[in-house]
């Protein structure tokens, strides 16, 4: 049975970095709704035009839109041997939607990797990322103001997703304050 893994954690926890590193060790496809939305914004599609302002402010794009993107991606064979989801699901409605979608395909989420990083460390990470990245390459939402909105959305709308998966006994807790290499090693050990 194809099974999928969710990388869970606050903004700037290192989910994207870890998704690429973990995917390189196996056959899962890194699947980031944030990357898909940024591509839509860059291509100026109707979806991108709708999402740009919401993303820049740090708010969440609506569940129906996100489920449409993920449904299309899986249906078109975007993750043939399973997805390593990064930044999805971000609401309980998305988690329920994903279970329903995968259930119809005879697939499931097998584990949820919870990367734990305290808020004050996230803020200092974003500040150093801003200092180190030329303006043209910066993400539109890489600002202390947008991070604060993203953190509120995370605590209010996304943390309940963890409880949803804890009830299914799927959550693996990882200390995300370690070095990048040590976080990868901890995740691989927990998944083994």
Return the range that interacts with ligand AMP (CB under 6 A); candidates 17-25, 83-91, 113-121, 122-130: 83-91
Q: Pick from 9, 11, 14, 97: which binds ligand AMP (CB under 6 A)?
A: 11
Buried-exposed string 55-72: b where 16+ CB fall within 10 A, e elsewhere: beebbbbebebbbebbee
Binding-residue pattern over the window 107 to 146 for ligand AMP, x denoting contact by CB under 6 A: ----------------------------------x-----
Q: In what order do the strands lie in the sheet with 108-116?
A: 29-32, 83-86, 3-8, 108-116, 171-175
Task: State in angstroms the smallest separation of the CB of 192 from ligand AMP.
Answer: 26
Residue nearest ligand AMP, Cβ-based: 34
What does the alpha-carbon distance between residue 135 and residue 8 come to, in Å, rounded to a whole number?
Answer: 28
What does the alpha-carbon distance between residue 30 and residue 79 come to, in Å, rounded to a whole number?
Answer: 8
Q: Are 117 and 177 in contact (CB under 8 A)?
A: yes
129 is catalytic: yes
Active site residues: 15, 90, 129, 139, 150
Residues of this chain that bind ligand AMP (CB under 6 A): 11, 33-34, 37, 54-55, 58-61, 66, 87-88, 90, 94, 141, 150
């Amino acid at each position: 049975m194809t099974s999928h893994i969710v990388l869970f954690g606050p903004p700037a926890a290192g989910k994207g970095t870890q998704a690429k590193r973990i995917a390189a060790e196996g056959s899962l496809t890194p699947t980031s709704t944030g990357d898909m939305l940024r591509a839509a914004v860059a291509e100026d599609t109707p979806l991108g035009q709708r999402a740009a302002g919401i993303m820049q402010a740090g708010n969440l794009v609506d569940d129906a839109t996100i489920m449409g993107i993920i449904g299309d991606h899986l249906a078109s064979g975007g993750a043939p041997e399973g997805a390593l989801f990064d930044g999805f699901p971000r609401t309980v409605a998305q988690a329920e939607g994903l279970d329903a979608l995968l259930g119809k395909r005879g697939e499931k989420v097998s584990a949820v990797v919870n990367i734990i990083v305290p808020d004050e460390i996230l803020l200092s990470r974003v500040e150093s990322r801003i200092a180190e990245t030329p303006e043209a390459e910066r993400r539109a939402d890489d600002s202390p103001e947008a991070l604060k909105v993203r953190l509120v959305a995370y605590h209010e709308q996304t943390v309940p997703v963890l409880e949803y998966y804890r009830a299914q006994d799927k959550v693996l807790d990882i200390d995300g304050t370690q070095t990048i290499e040590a976080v990868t090693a901890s995740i691989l050990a927990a998944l083994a």
